[in-house]
Amino acid sequence: MTNLISKAVVLSVFVSFSMMKSQSIKEILNQNGSFRKDTIFSIKSESKETYLPVTIVKGKEKGPVFTIVAGIHGYEYPPIIAVQELLKEIQPENIKGSLIIIPIANVESFQKRTPFINPLDQKNLNTAFPGLSNGTPTDQIAHLITKEIIPNSTIFLDIHGGDASEDLLPFVCYYNRKDAAENTKKAHELSIKSRIKYVVSYPYTLKSTDQSKYAFKEATQQGITALSIEAGKLGTVQKENVDLIKTAIYNMLEHSGNYIMRKSKAVTKKATVLLNQQDYIRVPENGIFYSNLKSGDKVKKNQILGYITDEFGNKKQDIVSQTDGIILYKVGTPPVNKGETLFCIGYNEL
Ligand SMILES: [Zn+2]
C-alpha cells in the first residue's frame, strides 16, 4: 500500500516534467542506437489529469515495430501482470526492430479498481476509439493511441481478459477483414503461432468512415496487422493465465522476427480450434443470475444455461442456448443488468 502511494508521487513528477518536453513516439523510434526508454504522455481535460505510460525498446538491427497494449480495462489483471514480467525480462540486445509497450492504458481504472470504465469520466476506453484530441480523459487516451501508437506499429496486439464479473476461456482473436487479405493472413498466422488453443475470428464490416470503437479494430481499420489476446478472469491474477499470455507474446515476437535468443515454449500441446462465429446472449431483464456452467464448457442448442430470479428468489426466466458451441465468456457473478452480454458462445461455420 505504501509502495503504491510513493510510486504515484514519483509518477506525478514525471507528468509535470513531460508537459515541459514531450517527445513523439516517432522521434524516439528514430533515435540512433539500441535502448529502452520509459516515457509518460500527460493528459489534461478541464480539471482532470491523467497520463499514458509508454515503453519503447529498440534493438540494434532493423525490423518490424511490435506494439503490446495492456490495461485498456484496468481491472483485467493477468494481461497487466504478464506485461510487467515482460518489461523485467526483455533486453534491447534480444530485440530486432522495436517494441512499443503500453503497460497500463487506463491507469485510473487500475489504481481506483474500477471495472470497465475510467472513473474520471465514466467512459469505457474500449468503446472510445478513435477518440478525440480535446475530449474527456478517456477520449484523449484513445486519440493518443490512434494517432501516436497505431500508425507507428507494424503489428498491434491488445491484451484483455475477463473483467471483475467475467468468466472467460483464454483465446486469441482478430478481424477477418476480407479487403485486407494480407493483414488478415498475418494476424491469423500470429494467432496460430501464439499456440493458444482457441483462435477466434470476428466478422469485419466496418467502413472507413465508421467509428472503430475498439483499439485493435481501429488498428485493423488503419490497415495494420492487429490482434487481441483474451486471458484471465473475475478480477484476480491467475498465474496460469499470466504465463499463457507471456508465452504467447514470446511466441508471436519470435514469429514476427522481433525477438531472438529464446527457445519458444508451447502454451498448449493440443491442436488449435478455430471459431469463426459468435452468438451473444443478452441479459433479458435485471436480476440475480444462476448457472452451473463455466467458460470452456460445451453447450447444445436449446440447452438451459442458467436462470434469473428477482430479489425475492422467484425465478423470472431460463436462459436458453440458440446454438451448439463453446462458452467463450459469461457473467460469472450474481448481478445482471438488461442488455449486457450474459454469454458469448463461439462456434465454427465453414
Ligand atoms: Zn477488456
The answer to the question of residue 191 being in a domain is yes
The answer to the question of residue 272 being in a domain is no
Q: How far is the CA of 126 from the centre of ligand 1 (A)?
A: 7
CA distance 4 to 242: 21
The answer to the question of residue 180 being in a domain is yes
> What are the C-alpha distances in Å from 5 to residues 30, 53, 111?
35, 17, 10
Task: Report whether pLDDT(14) > 50.
Answer: no
As a whole number, mean pLDDT of residues 281-303 equals 98
Q: How far is the CA of 18 from the centre of ligand 1 (A)?
A: 28
Structural domain including 322 reads 278-347
Per-residue cell: 146: 490512434
Task: Report whether pLDDT(200) > 90.
Answer: yes
* pLDDT attached to residue 103: 98
* pLDDT attached to residue 264: 56
> What are the C-alpha distances in Å from 284 to residues 85, 291, 338?
41, 15, 5
Q: How far is the CA of 203 from the centre of ligand 1 (A)?
A: 19
The answer to the question of residue 269 being in a domain is no
Q: How far is the CA of 32 from the centre of ligand 1 (A)?
A: 35
CA distance 337 to 115: 15
* Residue 159 shares a structural domain with residue 303: no
Per-residue cell: 217: 479494430
* pLDDT attached to residue 212: 98
Reported as a single tens digit per residue, the pLDDT across 229-279 is 999 999 999 999 999 999 999 999 999 999 986 665 656 667 899 999 999
* Residue 241 shares a structural domain with residue 184: yes
Q: How far is the CA of 76 from the centre of ligand 1 (A)?
A: 6
Per-residue cell: 2: 505504501
More confident residue, 266 or 36: 36
Q: How far is the CA of 33 from the centre of ligand 1 (A)?
A: 35
Q: How far is the CA of 302 from the centre of ligand 1 (A)?
A: 29
* pLDDT attached to residue 9: 38
* Residue 69 shares a structural domain with residue 108: yes
pLDDT category of residue 13 using cuts at 50, 70 and 90 = very low
The answer to the question of residue 133 being in a domain is yes
Reported as a single tens digit per residue, the pLDDT across 81-91 is 999 999 999 99
CA distance 183 to 34: 28
Q: How far is the CA of 50 from the centre of ligand 1 (A)?
A: 20
The answer to the question of residue 271 being in a domain is no
Considering the entire predicted model, what is its pTM? Answer: 0.91
* Residue 35 shares a structural domain with residue 100: yes
Reported as a single tens digit per residue, the pLDDT across 103-139 is 999 999 999 999 999 999 999 999 999 999 999 999 9
Q: How far is the CA of 145 from the centre of ligand 1 (A)?
A: 16
As a whole number, mean pLDDT of residues 27-39 equals 96
Q: How far is the CA of 304 from the centre of ligand 1 (A)?
A: 27
Q: How far is the CA of 22 from the centre of ligand 1 (A)?
A: 28
**Residue ranges near ligand 1 (ion) with Cβ within 5 Å:** 73, 76, 160
* Residue 300 shares a structural domain with residue 236: no
Per-residue cell: 160: 484483455
Q: How far is the CA of 37 from the centre of ligand 1 (A)?
A: 26
* Residue 14 shares a structural domain with residue 145: yes
* Residue 89 shares a structural domain with residue 227: yes
Q: How far is the CA of 229 from the centre of ligand 1 (A)?
A: 10
Q: Pick from 126, 74, 67: which is nearest to 101 by CA?
A: 67
Backbone angles phi, psi at 302, to 5 degrees: 75, 0
The total of structural domains in the chain comes to: 2
Strands 287-290 and 61-70: unpaired
Name the helix (H) or strand (E) containing 217. helix 215-221
Per the prediction, the chain carries an average pLDDT of: 92
* Helical pair 181-194 and 239-256, crossing angle rounded to 10 deg: 130
* Residue 203 shares a structural domain with residue 317: no
